[in-house]
Amino acid sequence: MMLEYLLERLTRRVENMLFRAVVRYMRLSEQGGARVAQVAGRAGETPDDVTVMLPYGFDHIPLPVDGSGKGAELIALTVERNLVVAFPAMDRRHRAQSGASENGEISLYDDQGQRITLKRGRVILAETDVLHIVAANKVTVDAPLAEFSGNVTIGGNLTVADDITDRTGAGNARSMAGMRETYNGHDHAENDNGGPTGTPNQEM
Residue ranges of domains in the chain: 2-92
Question: What confidence score (pLDDT) does residue 195 get?
Answer: 66
Pairwise CA distance, residues 98 & 101, whole Å:
8
Fold of 2-92: OB fold (Dihydrolipoamide Acetyltransferase, E2P) (2.40.50)
The Cα–Cα gap between 68 and 169 comes to: 55
Query: Comparing C-alpha atoms, which of 66, 74, 68, 70 is closest to residue 47?
Result: 74
Rounded Cα distance between 71 and 111, Å, is 12
Model pTM?
A: 0.75
CB 189 within 8 A of CB 195: yes
Per-residue pLDDT of the chain (204 residues; tens, 9 = 90+): 677 767 777 677 666 778 889 999 999 987 778 999 999 987 777 888 899 999 999 999 999 999 998 999 999 988 877 788 999 999 999 999 999 999 999 999 999 999 999 999 999 999 999 999 999 999 999 999 999 999 999 999 999 888 888 888 888 888 877 777 776 777 777 766 666 777 766 666
